[in-house]
Chain A
């Protein structure tokens, strides 16, 4: 059980995550990916007048929705077996985060950001609500996220995925080094 209760080094995690690519092909002949689920959720509503959502979501998307419901349950199981007390991030990161006002380093995620009170402030609204919106909009525009493009797509040597991953990092670097210091201070 200690395997499931301790967090893993990168080489265990990377190996297992990579194995989801063949697992999904073998289980159901599907390409590993998560963000299409956001489209399938929309398609489950009566929105068929919008071309992008006019398809049979049960036929094309049910497998993906089962997969993401599983992710929620798996997250619950992992958290139930043991919660993460502290993430062992580098000292440099702690210093960089302290400089922009993040001073609590306990838990899986910073409690300063992930709470309902912060969500009711302008910075919290930008970070959590707008941030979430950009995830949905951007991944659908780019046709995939970290799983679909960075892992499945690069595994399959797709040019589209390489361009998308460059975009992911350009956006992430811009947000981390330019936008976040403005929002958090």
Chain B
């Protein structure tokens, strides 16, 4: 099963998230207080490396390992308020828990068991979004 390859990518990502300290509530507090370059350095460099990679994939029309063309789509821009309101809501959760979705999974793996609660609540949050979607401004 081709999808199972992603398990190995995920394992590597879990290790990287832990070693980068991006899963630490302390680091996220430091970031939102502008008191260290650490998280800004990580995110900006990741964007630069990711951006150069995307340019390389497009220019050389690289294929994936199954031989399919790699299609890099621009997410369709819908409405300004959807991204700004959704982003703002997530930002509050990020500062409260010190974690975004990737770190929630990595923290559970690290044995911070109580993070199972914010992770399950995040699933419930996604569920409520699904229910309320038609009523929310998009």
Measured CB to CB, the residues of A under 8 A from B are 4, 6-8, 10-32, 34-35, 37-39, 41-42, 47, 50-53, 62-64, 66-79, 83-84, 87, 89-90, 92-93, 96-97, 105, 108-110, 113-116, 118-119, 126-147, 149-161, 163-177, 179-180
Contact = CB atoms under 8 A, between A and B. Distances in A.
Contacts, number: 514
Contacts of A84: 18, 21, 24
A150 B43 contact: yes
Contacts of B122: 38, 132-133, 135-136, 139
The 3 closest A-B CB pairs, nearest first, are A70-B10, A74-B14, A167-B87
B15 A77 contact: yes
Contact of B110 (A34, A76, A180): A76
B26 A71 contact: no
Interface of B: 1-33, 35-39, 41-51, 53-54, 56-57, 62, 64-66, 68, 70-78, 80, 82-102, 104-112, 114-115, 117-131, 133-134, 136
Contacts of A37: 101
Contact of A128 (B44, B64, B84, B117): B117
